[in-house]
Amino acid sequence: MPPAGIRPNIRGEFPGLAGNWAYLDTAATAQKPQAVIDAIARCYGVDYATVHRGVYERSATMTLRFEEARAKVARFIGAASPDEIVFVRGATEGINLVAQSWGQRLQPGDRILISALEHHSNIVPWQMLRDRTGAHLDVAPLTDDGRIDEDALIAMIGPRTRMVAIAHVSNVLGGVADVRRIADAAHAMGALVMVDGCQAGPRIVLDMAALGADFYVLSGHKLYGPTGIGVLWGRAELLESMPPWQGGGAMIETVSFERTTYAPPPGRFEAGTPHIEGVIGLGAAIDYIEAIGVAAIHAHETALLHEARRQIGQLNSVRMLGPESSAGILSFVMEGVHPHDIGTILDEAGVAVRAGHHCAQPLMQVLGVPATARASFGVYNDMDDVSRLVRGLERVTRIFGVK
């Protein structure tokens, strides 16, 4: 049975979980509730029309729903205004947008600061910006238990630091960063803060004003919504100061062969026909999450995680990585067994985990491992999934003869 606060039959609301399948890869992508699937199907079906262009009723109605979804996102993350919400293809595109638009102002010798546990999406765009501008890329270390060493990071913020880019929750180790503390320190030195919120959004109550960051990105498919849609939040004054990064329809005010003027944010950054179905689906996913409560989801996943750590801790051959207080994510390695073999054997038992470097190869180097196995929990998991994971790991130890 799931912990209190989560409907006992909630698993049945996710068609992708039909059958006896323990899905423990929510950190990669969340399964979709029927409510989201229905919203997308209706959008593609009887409601379908383009947005922002038609004067006919259905287009106007679809535009209204599209912009209502923007307002839902703003409310969900505690943004000051829906105009601070830019729809992008995913968190990766949101980070690239900032790096390519805001980043045009960087000069040789300016510095960008990230941490050693970042996803490739929060490393590579800054490397590309470094190579274009002559800026430097600094990397803050981790604590012994796999969290960002915030004391060390803050000490590394200098007068030439222009951007601090960090994960709110590590996609590998699950540690939660103190964004407010880091933001206060960065702002005191004149730097901005970009936060990768992909893993935080589904499980931590967000409030942009309280966090104090300058940019924040989310990925829709990790929020129980569709793929191909994400969110960039930016403080209004920053978005207004940034040039567009793509040209086309919708992002303009006027166009002539001599000159083009651009729309204010967020339209300035949303060139072309948008991912209408993705936005509508994301709005439905937020409705679904809010009906349960983010705090309830977090408590649910925390209970599952603690039980998983307790039971796996009894297997001598398994080494768990990351802090005990990680948010819904548990990475581990088994002595003498490659994580891919762990994942394959678990799959034979109907248990799905992720195995690999999790788009965090530099972190694997820091941890001194080629890869890890990762179990990550969602609103639809329960204690039976934990038991099946542990039984599967016991089977791995028997097959490989490890204790």
Q: Taking Cα atoms as reference points, which of 52, 80, 36 lies closest to residue 263?
A: 52
| pLDDT(403) > 80 | no
310 and 258 assigned to the same domain:
no
Task: Output the CA–CA distances (angstroms, integers) from residue 107 to 33, 133, 359, in the order listed.
Answer: 46, 6, 29
138 and 271 assigned to the same domain:
yes
DSSP string across 110-146: -EEEEETT--GGGTHHHHHHHHHHT-EEEEE-B-TTS
Catalytic pick among 124, 352, 359, 364: 359
Count: domains in the chain: 2
173 and 239 assigned to the same domain:
yes
**Per-residue model confidence as pLDDT tens digits over 184-200:** 999 999 999 999 999 99
**Per-residue model confidence as pLDDT tens digits over 40-89:** 999 999 999 999 977 899 999 999 999 999 999 999 999 999 999 999 99
The rounded distance, in Å, linking the Cα atoms of 228 and 245 is 18
Examine residue 256 and state whether it is found in any structural domain, yes or no: yes
14 and 146 assigned to the same domain:
no
| pLDDT(2) > 70 | no
CATH number where 302 lies: 3.90.1150.10
361 and 263 assigned to the same domain:
no
What is the per-residue pLDDT for 1?
46
**Per-residue model confidence as pLDDT tens digits over 86-103:** 999 999 999 999 999 999
Burial of 129 (0-12, 13-18, 19+ CB in 10 A): buried
Q: Are strands 351-352 and 136-140 parallel, antiparallel or unpaired?
A: unpaired
The rounded distance, in Å, linking the Cα atoms of 269 and 215 is 14
Task: Determine whether 43 is an active site residue.
Answer: no
Three-state SS string over 185-222 comes to: HHHHCCCEEEEECCCCCCCCCCCHHHHCCCEEEEEHHH
The average confidence (pLDDT) of the chain is: 96
| pLDDT(129) > 80 | yes
* Domain stop point among 254, 269, 290: 290
The rounded distance, in Å, linking the Cα atoms of 395 and 311 is 14
What is the per-residue pLDDT for 45?
96
Examine residue 4 and state whether it is found in any structural domain, yes or no: no
**Per-residue model confidence as pLDDT tens digits over 239-266:** 999 999 999 999 999 999 999 999 999 9
Task: Output the CA–CA distances (angstroms, integers) from residue 147 to 84, 153, 166, 174, 321, in the order listed.
Answer: 30, 11, 11, 8, 10
Provide the whole-model pTM. 0.97
User: How confident is residue 339, by pLDDT bands cut at 50, 70 and 90?
Assistant: very high
Average pLDDT over residues 360-383: 97
86 and 208 assigned to the same domain:
yes
234 and 152 assigned to the same domain:
yes
